[in-house]
Amino acid sequence: MNEPDYQLETLAVRAGIERSQFNEHSEALYLTSSFVFKNAAEAAARFSGQTPGNIYARFTNPTVTAFQERLAVLEGAESCVATSSGMSAILATVMGLLSAGDHIVSSRSLFGATVQLFGNIMKRFGIETTFVSQTDVAAWRAAVQPNTKLLFAETPSNPLTEICDIAALSQVAKQAGALLAVDNCFCTPILQRPLDLGADLVIHSATKYLDGQGRVLGGAVLGRKEVIDPVFTFLRTAGPTMSAFNAWIFLKGLETLSLRMEAHSRSALELALWLEQQPQVERVYYPGLPSHPQYALAKQQQKTGGGIVAFEVKGGKDAAWRVVDATRMISITANLGDTKTTLTHPATTTHCRITPEQRAAAGIGDGLLRVGVGLEAVSDIQADLARGLR
């Protein structure tokens, strides 16, 4: 399945299959932690790297390899490593590619745990991060230092769906001699391919849309082989590798990804347009709305607006909590990218551990709600939100 002229939809269903002696049609799940060798010489050759092949599942497993190959094809990447979660994908990227004394320039509109990882944990190991505005390319350029090794962005961002200009940031990275990593969790390769736009690394929380049904955790890092190899070396040594079972779930998830992303996007746009009409709603954040500040850039960079809609309710936290508590169907949960619609109050959940000043700087108001639009009928999602808004 290496023919480059297959469409993405086809590759999502068929890439990465290597059938066993049984010629199974659906992808096999290899639940084994280690692999046996014919003799001592074969074991020695595998361990020394003289011959390729599986040794131990902390390093490689055929089901995980199949997932890595399929996702690599979809992202247009030379190489992919799968990880135990999205956060361990980000951790492995930093641990594999940076050292004490290095510097990161990062968007400040990041997933909350990523802010913690860069701002607190990596700082203890001598890696400093400067947080800048997601949308201000000049600010990224100004924040670059001689020791800057990594630029890190997430687009659209969580929860405000701010768009960063991947091509422009890749120019900043090139001039700085640094790598640009893009967390492509919200779009998936179906809607956006950051490597085509000049990014060096793509990061995934597979937990979200790649699974698509809220079952298991996983992540991935993709890019050129020379960039991914040190990330893999960290993973096989330190151990936050993806389990074979989870890889099998993600392989099957990828097969329906393009259909789901189209449906999520269609419903999200309909919901966003409806929310804009509600008098109790101050503002709606959705990249597919003409009112979005980066609508033109989003149109150029992404196929559709994606499945995440955020909106600010008039009346702050109390009003936002009333909307949450009045729902009967929508799941009150921090996850997203699920067939089931999810609802989060970022200020008191995903972003509660950052200071109120950091929250204000990131634009996370007390009345803000984030909807991960699922695959239920949009009219039912609207009715569930309308109750609390009334």
Q: Does 216 bind ligand PLP (CB under 6 A)?
A: no
Task: Provide the minimum distance between the beta carbon of 68 and ligand PLP in the complex, in angstroms, as a whole number.
Answer: 16
Q: Identify the bridge partners of residue 103 per DSSP, sorted by sequence position.
A: 128, 148
Closest contact distance (angstroms) between CB of 113 and ligand PLP is 6
8 A C-beta contact, residue 117 and residue 249: no
Structure tokens at 356: 């109120």
Cα 85-237-203 angle, rounded to 5 deg: 30
Which pair of tokens denotes residue 30? 């290899």
366 belongs to the binding site for ligand PLP (CB under 6 A): no
Assign 344 to helix, strand or coil. strand
By CB under 6 A, is residue 165 in contact with ligand PLP?
Answer: no
Residue 209 lies near ligand PLP (rule: CB under 6 A): no
164 near ligand PLP (CB under 6 A): no
Q: Which residues pair with 331 in a beta bridge?
A: 342
Q: Which is nearer to ligand PLP, 202 or 227 (CB)?
A: 202
Q: Which of 15, 178, 190, 217 is the binder for ligand PLP (CB under 6 A)?
A: 217
Minimum CB separation from ligand PLP for residue 205, in Å? Answer: 3
250 counts as binding ligand PLP under rule CB under 6 A: no
Rounded to whole angstroms, the Cα distance separating 79 from 336 reads 26
Q: What is the closest distance, in whole angstroms, from the C-beta atom of residue 6 to ligand PLP in the complex? A: 28
Tokens of 271: 């919901």
Alpha carbon 63 to chain centroid distance?
Answer: 21
Site for ligand PLP contains 265 (CB under 6 A): no
Q: Please identify, using beta-carbon distances, which residue of 93 and 388 lies nearer to ligand PLP.
A: 93
Q: Considering the rule CB under 6 A, would residue 247 count as an interface residue with ligand PLP?
A: no
CB 57 to ligand PLP: min, Å: 19
Of the candidate spans 12-20, 70-78, 83-91, 380-388, the one that interacts with ligand PLP by CB under 6 A turns out to be: 83-91
Q: Which of 65, 135, 148, 158 binds ligand PLP (CB under 6 A)?
A: 158
| Distance separating the N- and C-terminal Cα atoms of the chain | 53
Q: What secondary structure does DSSP assign to 197-266, as a single string?
A: GT-SEEEEETTTTTT-SS----EEEEE-HHHHHHHHHHHHHH--BPPHHHHHHHHHHHHTHHHHHHHHHH
Does position 107 interact with ligand PLP (CB under 6 A)? The reply is no
Q: φ, ψ for residue 310 (rounded to 5)?
A: -120, 150
Dist. CA 151–CA 169, nearest whole Å: 8
Instruction: Report, in Å, the least distance between residue 310 CB and ligand PLP.
Output: 13
Q: Does 208 engage in binding with ligand PLP (CB under 6 A)?
A: yes
**Interface characters, 167-186, with ligand PLP (x: CB under 6 A):** ----------------x-x-
CA distances (Å), origin 66, targets 4, 59, 62, 78, 356: 17, 14, 6, 14, 43
103 counts as binding ligand PLP under rule CB under 6 A: no
Q: Residue 314 Cβ, how far from ligand PLP at the closest point, in Å?
A: 27
Please pick, from the candidates 148, 205, 246, 294, the single residue that binds ligand PLP as defined by CB under 6 A: 205
Residues in CB range of 333: below 8 A, 6 or more apart: 342, 343, 344
Interaction between residue 134 and ligand PLP (CB under 6 A): no
Tokens of 77: 């990447």
Is 85 a binder of ligand PLP (CB under 6 A)? Answer: yes
Q: Is 287 one of the binding residues for ligand PLP (CB under 6 A)?
A: no
Choose, by CB under 6 A, the member of 207, 241, 265, 344 that binds ligand PLP. 207
Residue 111 is a binding residue for ligand PLP (CB under 6 A): yes
Kind and range of the H or E run holding 284: strand 281-285
Where along the sequence are the contacts to ligand PLP (CB under 6 A)?
85-87, 111, 114, 154, 158, 183, 185, 205, 207-208, 217, 219
